[in-house]
Structure 1
Amino acid sequence: MLALLGAVLAAIAYGAATVLQAIGVQRIAAAPAGASWLERGRAGWLYAVGLALDAGGFLASLAALQSLPLFLVESMLASSVGVTAVLAVVLLGVRLSRREVAVLVMVGIGLVLLAVSAHEGNARLVGTAGSWLLLGGAGLVTAVFIAGLLDADRGRSSLVLASASGLGFGLTGIVARVLDTSNPLWHTVFQPQLWALIVAGAVALVAYGFALDRGRTTSVAAITFATETVIPAAIGLAFLGDGVRSGFVIVAVLGFVATLGGCVALAGHAEVEPRRAEIEH
């Protein structure tokens, strides 16, 4: 239950961070032309709060992944887009259509189905060879990012960068699932999978920003959500010992499809547009 609570808190933190960062960026942009960096920083202090929530959400997800399967935790993290949509309604006065409300309900039902079907347990350790393989995976994510960054076609570039972001976020989830933190800190620092987590996470964040700059938010968010959820879930079930409760396979499949499909449908709310009154407040 504590691990499940950590996953829920991570999703809430990520969803709230998106709203606060959107408001912060808009307030910084609305600052007078001659404003100093200090004045801009004060205007956009909510952006810093959003970053702190991102960090807290990341730590909560790490804790959840120590005992919950990837298909459950990654689906819950992807559902943060639903949290963003709800908070946009509460805080920014955004109106959701009946279809979007129905999708939110579908995501909620999907998460409940996943929660009741997931089998709790520690992941299978990957060993030294697996650790280096994960670090190699971080190198592959970096290569995909560079290829997308250098692509002159902005539309294709955004799709490649979104894929790199999804792969990077997915890899951080995989590493968090198998990372052995029982060793002394100095020993953990030298584990290849820890550096795989750092590199993949950093590349994923940068790639997502470039992808949003070059493509449509809806497409970028949908590709990122799908990639970071489906691939880790498959790897967890195939290689890391993630499991489903006996007799709950169909329930798990229905929950996964409902959650992922709903998150992709809500991808347009991954970036919110605050009201002018809220920005100037």
Structure 2
Amino acid sequence: MMCALGAAVCFGTATVLQAMAARTASDDGGGGGDAALLLRALRQWRYMAGLALDGVGFLLQIAALRSVPIYAVGAALAASLAVTAVVAARLLHVRLNGREWSAVGVVCAGLAMLGLASGAEGDRSAPGWLKYAMVAAAAGVLLLGGVGGRLRGRTRALLLGLGAGCGFGVVEVAVRLIDSLRPGDLLTNPATYALVLGGGAAFMLLTSALQRGSVTTATAGLVIGETIGPAAVGVIWLGDRTREGLTWLAALGFAVAVAGALLLARFGEAPAEEPTGA
């Protein structure tokens, strides 16, 4: 759980840095679609710093997924929205009101309950078709991004964030489906390609989502996509369980953590001021 929470801090901070870079890249003009925006953002030092934090967070996420159930890791990563809001308040000059700070507390309470109730990761063998389903899901993320890119305003940011969350959710499940790190095994495992495609699509969609609108709105979709679906896969097909007699506490903690994250997104709609400095 400490690895999962460390990943949440890295991802939450990275989101704000990438949002600043995406907005600067958008102001630079040049047209183009999501891929062109991503290429311009890559020239911003803030985006590269965010990618470095994402890399550290990903390693911590893998360590967590190898030790605790997917639902626990997913809910912990939902706390990245609280980190995003706090960091955005400092760097993007977004003001958090009392309800938002209360939502941060709700997220923390849910994570505490989840940490107490979580058991070890499931040891059930995944069905053979699940790896191919993850590849199909990753391709679906790209299609969702194509639809979301045609929208405007908060709906655009929310849908693209949801697509990014689904992409990261594919990564969470794919990590559990990779049982050998030998190069030959990696190249023949469909889960490897699902991880690469899902992760790449998620980064591209999240960058596009952060181009306009509230950072927390985009991250709200991210939270939904990367928590609910992967948690269900872990419980139904991978054997994730809770400690004896604490299933109710895990379910309550998961619901409270995710609800708190979404509540924070609902009230995090104050327009961000332009950051000062280069």
TM-score by length of 1: 0.79
* Equivalent runs, 1:193-272 vs 2, <5 Å: 193-213=191-211, 217-267=215-265
- Share of identical aligned residues, percent? 34
**One-letter amino acid of the counterpart of residue 251, structure 2:** V
Conserved? CA contact 1:18–1:271, under 8 Å: no
Distance, in Å, in 2 between the alignment partners of 1:206 and 1:26 is 14
- Greater displacement, 216-225 / 196-205: 216-225
Conserved? CA contact 1:66–1:123, under 8 Å: no
Choose from 3, 7, 10 the match for 1:6.
3
TM-score by length of 2: 0.80
Q: Closer, same or farther in 2 for the Cα pair 1:8/1:214, shift >3 Å? A: closer
Larger radius of gyration: 1
Distance, in Å, in 2 between the alignment partners of 1:57 and 1:272 is 28
TM-aligned CA deviation for residue 172 of structure 1 = 1.1
Conserved? CA contact 1:135–1:196, under 8 Å: yes
Distance, in Å, in 2 between the alignment partners of 1:93 and 1:14 is 19
* Equivalent runs, 1:167-206 vs 2, <5 Å: 167-181=166-180, 183-206=181-204
Instruction: Output one character per residue of 1:184-206: Cα deviation in whole Å (capped at 9) or x when no partner.
Output: 22322331101001111111222
Is the counterpart of residue 65 in structure 1 residue 62 in structure 2? no
Distance, in Å, in 2 between the alignment partners of 1:165 and 1:21 is 14
**One-letter amino acid of the counterpart of residue 17, structure 2:** L
Per the alignment, residue 161 of structure 1 pairs with 160
Q: Closer, same or farther in 2 for the Cα pair 1:48/1:113, shift >3 Å? A: same
TM-aligned CA deviation for residue 147 of structure 1 = 4.0
SS in structure 1 at match of 2:67? coil
- Greater displacement, 128-137 / 264-273: 264-273
Q: Closer, same or farther in 2 for the Cα pair 1:10/1:227, shift >3 Å? A: same
Distance, in Å, in 2 between the alignment partners of 1:148 and 1:87 is 26
Structure 2 unaligned regions, length at least 5? 29-39
Alignment length (residue pairs)? 264
Per the alignment, residue 143 of structure 1 pairs with 143
Distance, in Å, in 1 between the alignment partners of 2:101 and 2:156 is 32
Structure 1 vs Structure 2 CA RMSD: 3.2
Q: Closer, same or farther in 2 for the Cα pair 1:28/1:55, shift >3 Å? A: same
Q: Closer, same or farther in 2 for the Cα pair 1:236/1:49, shift >3 Å? A: same
Structure 1 unaligned regions, length at least 5? 32-39
Per the alignment, residue 87 of structure 2 pairs with 87
**One-letter amino acid of the counterpart of residue 112, structure 2:** V
- Greater displacement, 108-117 / 9-18: 9-18
Q: Closer, same or farther in 2 for the Cα pair 1:44/1:210, shift >3 Å? A: closer
Conserved? CA contact 2:163–2:221, under 8 Å: no
